Amino acid sequence: MKLSHALAALIIAWFAVFGRIQAVTLEVNQGNSTCIKAELTASFSITYNTSNSTRTVQVPLPDSATVDAGSSSCGLDGNTPWLVAVFGPGHALGLSFSTNGSLYSVANLTLQYNLSDTSVFPEANSSDVVTVVSSSVGIWAPINTTYRCLSSATFGVGGVTVTFSNMRLEAYMPGNDLSPAESVCMADQASTTAPPTTTTSATTTVTPAPTPPGTPERGVYSVNNTNGTACLLAQMGLQLNVSYFSQSQNKTIQELVNVTPNLTSSSGSCEASSATLILTEGRATTLTFTFTLNSTSNKYHLSALTLLANWSDMTAPLSASNTSLNYLRSTKGRSYMCNTEQTLAVVPSFSLNTFKLQVQPFEVTTNQFATAEECQMDQDQMLIPIIVGAALAGLVLIVLIAYLIGRKRSHAGYQTI
């Protein structure tokens, strides 16, 4: 019993370290032909309840995952094509596809996880098998091409964050192997347009003391509805404060890294009571903001932040997530503004510094921010000149009174003489 627990812990630790890097290959076949093939690395950030709190675990898709032939389908008999990969006791990842003849896309993404699996979900207060579905994944490519996205892409699915990377995927395949023609995702295109010399120069120049990057540039980001209108607006300068084990320096270092707006693309989703903003910088950094609206109080707040970083100097990709945050609180129908620098602590190894921030995750109309609710720090900053002014005025008054009293006294003095 104890040995099996130790073994399970060892296996999980092994997957936690190597599972992310290991790509899994999955194939759906009918007869002798392959109709769906996927090579990918996936990990899931799942939050669940224990008896007195909530916990978040990172679950990688292990390379022991296999295609469940029973529920997977090529879609020849009128069903939708569906790839279902099963792993562990009752966990599954499903991708269903649709096409309009010229393009194909992931129609929905399903994740099923079994909370009775105590090796993955220790102390869960439920033994349910939970299924979450997302229908807005944004993975699509022309027919007869392979969808390629080596960058990591993060999707909010229910309360779960799903991250794919090193992905090559094709459905409605014309042959038995991935088509050589590739359809490259936006994130990969952004990273290839960056000059490739930056990595070599970074490795050749040994920088012993990291220079502080200065105030980050302010970026303008938005998330669009399916009908193309903006549903989330954000303007902010962002700076990541990250601790990680540096390969070149052979020790854990703390680094401040600015987010560069013109290398960063935004995506996300808007739902009635939650909105997600995903910022992807090149192929190495993904930052996910989740806002939650409380419909009884009509207040919203930043409830979750996730950072995925796979920088060249890291020994292993970093994944930092906290889904029980309570930052940037404001009211539905208003935007939240904070010009003062703010530090949002996420986990011990990661915090986010924001500069000149304005966001509105709900009820955006006509592509513009609604009236802003300003953070306390801005209000305090505005108070400072008032307080200083009042203090100065008081000082002037005191001097004046002292002078008048002094004059009166000295007059009196002269008169007695």
Ligand X SMILES: *[C@@H]1O[C@H](CO)[C@@H](O)[C@H](O)[C@H]1NC(C)=O
Rule CB under 6 A: which residues touch ligand X?
31-32, 48-49, 51-53, 80, 82, 89-90, 96, 100-103, 108, 110, 114, 116-117, 129, 133, 135, 143-144, 159, 174, 222, 224-225, 227-230, 250, 262-263, 266-267, 294, 296-297
At 119, the amino acid letter reads S
Distance between CA atoms of 110 and 85, rounded to whole angstroms?
Answer: 10
Q: Which helix (H) or strand (E) holds 244?
A: strand 230-246
Q: Kindly tell me which of 245 and 311 has the beta carbon lying closer to ligand X.
A: 245
Closest separation in Å from C-beta 295 to ligand X: 8
Q: Kindly tell me which of 207 and 416 has the beta carbon lying closer to ligand X.
A: 207
Q: Kindly tell me which of 268 and 317 has the beta carbon lying closer to ligand X.
A: 268
Q: Under 8 Å CB-to-CB from 385, ≥6 apart: which residues?
A: none
Closest separation in Å from C-beta 23 to ligand X: 24
141-150 per-residue burial string, b: 16 or more CB within 10 A, e: under 16: bebbbbbbbb
Q: Kindly tell me which of 107 and 166 has the beta carbon lying closer to ligand X.
A: 107
- Read off the tokens for 111: 């994740």
Closest separation in Å from C-beta 356 to ligand X: 16
Among 255, 265, 257, which residue's Cα sits nearest to residue 216?
Answer: 257
End-to-end CA distance of the chain: 106
Among 24, 25, 42, 43, which residue's Cα sits nearest to residue 34?
Answer: 25
Contact 117, 155 (CB under 8 A): no
- Whose CB is nearest to ligand X? 90
Q: Coil, helix or strand for 292?
A: strand
Q: Coil, helix or strand for 370?
A: coil
> DSSP characters for 148-167?
EE-S-EEEEETTEEEEEEEE
Determine whether 89 is exposed, middle or buried from the number of CB atoms within 10 Å of its CB (0-12, 13-18, 19+). exposed
Q: What is the DSSP-derived secondary structure letter of residue 121?
A: S
- Read off the tokens for 238: 């962002």
Among 361, 335, 369, 358, which residue's Cα sits nearest to residue 232?
Answer: 361
Among 308, 318, 282, which residue's Cα sits nearest to residue 198?
Answer: 282
- Locus of tokens 């009236």: 371
